[in-house]
């Protein structure tokens, strides 16, 4: 350890530049000699045992406190197993998890008990007052977490180590060895990492196994970098809520029971704040692997349908008060999970979204789910139906997805999804369905999920309450003959289809459609219709 510290000093030098790189600008500015500054605050030096049995909570927080008192720096977790309850982050702190370092979430109190492992407990969930009814329990609280911080700046957690949320709940209740842990119970840990009202944050390289209700809950965190994380968990992997200027890259998330990467815009801050200027790129999301087998590289298929809905997708929503603006999703892989979902149901402005270079295999519901709805969970006077508009989706292939549902793009009566462009899309699904004369429910105020809509009367796309739609170079190919039309359009105004390929059985079902154009397509002959209702093409 001494050699590591000496080498680090030699590498960065003793001047102000080197100290600034370690977050120790305060010492540099004061003129303190370099040899008086500790570049690393080793948790072992502050009493940590690292044996996986002794509680290291106090030692870890002492190291963080000493680092903060020195003006900032790096708190080092060398190889070891660090059993702990809540770790309280501070500004200008870098937690460095070395190879072989494992931070283990201590066991939460059982129902009816006040303490868990070794007589300890997680910090209690703080009150979010009158705003708590507007989002799920987990979004209202940050302190009841393994690692948390509020109102911080210049924070980093990096390194090849592991965060194991062994003792965390994963939602309102979780059955573990026949026992139910309730997230609302004081002393129970609910999340692996939770940050609120922070800026200049970097989370990189480490892994999370069993992250609780959220592997990462990041609320109003601006200038945020998330890079090269591997997360293998039961509930949400990464929740980015009301954040600005965010880059998510090179991450792999396996979350069979919930969403993988999930931008949100809740009302947890007490006001509507958009998630905006967000880029998600080069990421892998899945819902098909047994817990832990993405992380260890064995990739064992979860074959138990009772315990694996195979979610694991990228989803914008469902918490959607503030909005989603100026967002790109690119070069991502979906594997054995739900499809891409864009949802505005609580008044959000969901607009200016570009999605490109996506591959999907074995999608469990539908490749696309774009929903403008009226759940309106928020202060009644201020929460009105939002928008979903200016969305471009291109260069996407989906193979062997379930055939029960077409991709669903739906507004509600009087509020249309607007300005959509689909191009260079190839959708392969299992097919084999009989002709289905089903009425898809509007479900205006319901929870926005494809399964709430049931089977669709088409097998490729289901468009309802849409304005200004363009599709070009799109192919829908069922593996087995499917008796349903490929595309269903209902209350759709101004729609252009160019170079569309589908089975002709028929290709289009038009209901309440105006200004329809089809050209240069194997789906049918060139045609322009001012109005069409109840017509098949």
The confidence band for 37, taking pLDDT boundaries of 50, 70 and 90, is low
How does residue 93 score in pLDDT terms, banded at 50, 70 and 90? very high
Mean pLDDT throughout 196-207? 98
Choice between 263 and 18, residue whose per-residue pLDDT is larger: 263
To which H or E segment does residue 5 belong? helix 2-12
Lowest mean pLDDT among 7-21, 87-101, 102-116, 154-168: 7-21
User: What's the pLDDT at 183?
Assistant: 74
> 235 with 255: CB under 8 angstroms?
yes
As a whole number of angstroms, the distance between CA 414 and CA 175 comes to 43
Long-range contacts (CB closer than 8 Å, 24 or more residues apart) made by 46-50: 48/80, 48/82, 50/78, 50/79, 50/80, 50/81, 50/82
Quote the pLDDT of residue 308: 74
pLDDT tens-digit series, residues 291-308:
999 999 999 998 877 777
Q: Where are the beta strands (DSSP E) in 45-190?
A: 51-55, 73-77, 80-84, 87-88, 93-97, 101-105, 145-150, 153-158, 162-164, 173-176, 179-182
Q: How far, in Å, CA of 537 to CA of 527, rounded?
A: 10
Q: What value does the mean pLDDT take over residues 247-255?
A: 98
CA end-to-end span of the chain, whole Å? 74
Report residue 8's pLDDT band, with 50, 70 and 90 as the boundaries: very low
Residue 456 predicted with pLDDT over 60: yes
Q: What is the mean pLDDT of residues 460-488?
A: 97
Is pLDDT above 90 for 24?
no
The whole-number average pLDDT for the span 328-333 is: 98
Residue 150 and residue 142 in contact, taking contact as beta carbons nearer than 8 Å? yes
> pTM, whole model, 2 decimals?
0.92
Residue 13 predicted with pLDDT over 50: no
Q: What are the residue ranges spanned by the domains of the chain?
A: 1-40
Q: Is the pLDDT of residue 2 over 80?
A: no
Average pLDDT over residues 177-193: 77
């Amino acid at each position: 350890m001494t050699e590591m510290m000496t080498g680090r000093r030699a590498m960065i030098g003793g001047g102000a530049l080197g100290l600034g790189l370690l977050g120790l600008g305060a010492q540099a500015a004061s003129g303190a000699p370099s040899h008086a500054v500790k570049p690393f605050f080793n948790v072992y030096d502050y009493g940590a045992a690292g044996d996986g049995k002794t509680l290291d909570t106090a030692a870890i927080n002492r190291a963080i406190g000493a680092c903060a008192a020195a003006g900032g720096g790096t708190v080092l977790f060398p190889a070891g197993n660090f059993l702990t309850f809540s770790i309280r982050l501070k500004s200008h702190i870098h937690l460095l998890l070395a190879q072989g370092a494992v931070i283990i979430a201590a066991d939460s109190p059982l129902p009816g008990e006040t303490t868990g492992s070794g007589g300890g407990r997680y910090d209690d969930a703080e009150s979010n007052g009158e705003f708590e009814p507007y989002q799920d329990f987990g979004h209202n609280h940050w302190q009841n977490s393994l690692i948390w911080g509020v109102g911080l700046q210049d924070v980093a957690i990096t390194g090849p180590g592991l965060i194991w949320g062994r003792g965390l709940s994963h939602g309102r209740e979780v059955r573990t060895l026949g026992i139910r842990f309730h997230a609302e119970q004081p002393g129970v840990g609910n999340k692996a990492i939770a940050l609120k009202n922070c800026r200049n944050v970097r989370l990189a390289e480490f892994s999370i196994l069993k992250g609780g209700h959220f592997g990462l809950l990041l609320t109003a965190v601006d200038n945020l970098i998330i890079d090269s994380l591997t997360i293998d968990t039961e509930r949400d992997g990464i929740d980015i809520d009301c954040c600005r200027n965010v880059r998510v890259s090179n991450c792999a998330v396996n979350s069979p029971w919930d969403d993988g990467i999930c931008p949100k815009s809740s009302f947890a801050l007490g006001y509507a704040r958009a998630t905006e200027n967000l880029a998600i790129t080069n990421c892998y999301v899945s819902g098909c692997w047994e817990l832990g087998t993405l992380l260890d590289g064995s990739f064992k298929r979860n074959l138990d349908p009772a315990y694996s809905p195979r979610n694991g997708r990228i989803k914008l929503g469902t918490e959607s008060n503030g909005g989603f603006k100026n967002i790109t999703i690119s070069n991502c892989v979906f594997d054995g999970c739900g499809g891409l979902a864009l949802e505005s149901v609580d008044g959000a402005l969901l607009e200016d979204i570009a999605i490109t270079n996506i591959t999907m295999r074995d999608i469990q519901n539908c490749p696309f789910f774009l929903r403008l709805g009226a759940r309106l969970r928020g202060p009644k006077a201020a929460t009105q139906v939002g928008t979903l508009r200016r969305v471009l989706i291109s260069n996407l292939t989906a193979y062997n997805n379930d055939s029960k549902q077409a991709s669903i793009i739906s507004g509600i009566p009087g509020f249309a999804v607007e300005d959509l462009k689909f191009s260079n899309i190839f959708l392969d699904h299992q097919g084999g369905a009989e002709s289905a004369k089903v009425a898809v429910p509007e479900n205006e105020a319901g929870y926005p999920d494809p399964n709430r809509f049931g089977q669709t009367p088409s097998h490729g796309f289901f468009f309802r309450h849409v304005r200004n739609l363009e599709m070009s170079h799109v192919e829908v190919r069922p593996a087995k003959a499917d008796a349903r039309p490929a595309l269903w359009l209902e209350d759709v105004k101004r729609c252009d289809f160019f170079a569309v390929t589908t089975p002709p059985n028929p290709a289009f079902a038009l209901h309440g459609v105006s200004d329809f154009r089809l050209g240069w397509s194997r789906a049918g002959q060139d045609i322009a219709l001012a109005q069409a209702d109840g017509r098949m093409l």
